[in-house]
Amino acid sequence: ELKVEQNPLFLSMQEGKNYTIYCNYSTTSDRLYWYRQDPGKSLESLFVLLSNGAVKQEGRLMASLDTKARLSTLHITAAVHDLSATYFCADFTGNQFYFGTGTSLTVIP
Amino acid sequence: EAGVVQSPRYKIIEKKQPVAFWCNPISGHNTLYWYRQNLGQGPELLIRYENEEAVDDSQLPKDRFSAERLKGVDSTLKIQPAELGDSAVYLCASQYTSGIEQYFGPGTRLTVT
């Protein structure tokens, strides 16, 4: 059974702090994606990770992929309120996207 | 370039009633997905089209759900009859078949009472 597990499910952090969201997947993934979803909105693509050791950064967010451990991480540096949202990872395998349950991030001023 | 368009954005119906959702993908995108997103969960695939062909409908509850993509462009997803458990957001996404990014529409929030 294909599984994509994220943790934590809920994260409350203070502005200026660092934290990491973890995404474990069960398949030999072709690609790993990270998305952001604001309340009542659709999903916005953040990163696509295509190979082992891939690292991508955009602003205060950095994503990495370890295919041997079947693990991807989304690291948040010096969080700001605007990063409050739900973050999903998705494993692309067999021409299909399998989404994690999401991590709801709240950044407190 | 226009994004993925979905309508309606919100729909409230009574159980046992039919409902239909419409999706217009980004121009030129051959692949179209319909997802269901329950509250507090990630999207789950219902059906995937390549042009007008449904290539993966294994997770579509076929007793009450149907979908079509005539001419390989717009798509409709229908539920008949709706049940209380169908309350969710229905998302449409599209991509180039050879592309690596899928683009999501704003979704239709369905409430079944």
Work out the percent of chain B whose per-residue pLDDT is above 90.
91
For chain B, give the mean pLDDT: 95
**pLDDT bucket at B1, cuts 50 / 70 / 90:** low
Beta-carbon contacts of residue A79 (< 8 Å; ≥ 6 apart): A13, A14, A15, A16, A17, A18, A19, A60, A105, A107
Whether residue B45 and residue A96 make contact (CB cut-off 8 A), yes or no, is yes
In 3D, which of B90, B45, B20 has the Cα closest to residue A92?
A: B45
Average pLDDT in the B33-51 region? 96
Give A6-34 pLDDT, tens digit per residue.
Answer: 999 999 999 999 999 999 998 877 799 99
pLDDT digits (tens, 9 = 90+) for A37-91: 999 898 999 999 998 889 999 999 999 999 999 999 999 999 999 999 999 999 9
Contacts of B65 (CB under 8 A, 6+ apart): B46, B77, B78, B79
Distance from CA of A89 to the nearest CA of B (A): 9
With bands split at pLDDT 50, 70 and 90, how would you rate the model's confidence at A1?
Answer: low
Q: Where are the domains of chain A?
A: 4-108
Say which CATH topology domain A4-108 has: Immunoglobulin-like (2.60.40)
List CB contacts (< 8 A) between A4 and chain B. 42
Write phi, then psi, for A41 (nearest 5 degrees): -115, 175
Q: Residue range B46-52: average pLDDT?
A: 96
Domains of chain B are 5-106 (2.60.40.10)
Mean pLDDT to the nearest integer, B99-106 = 93
User: Are B44 and A4 within 8 A, CB to CB?
Assistant: no
Among B31, B32, B41, the strongest candidate for a mutation testing the A interface, having the largest count of A CBs within 10 A, is B41
Chain B positions in Cβ-Cβ contact with residue A97 (cut-off 8 Å): 33, 43, 45, 102
Q: Give residue A52's pLDDT.
A: 87
B17-27 pLDDT, tens digit each = 999 999 999 99
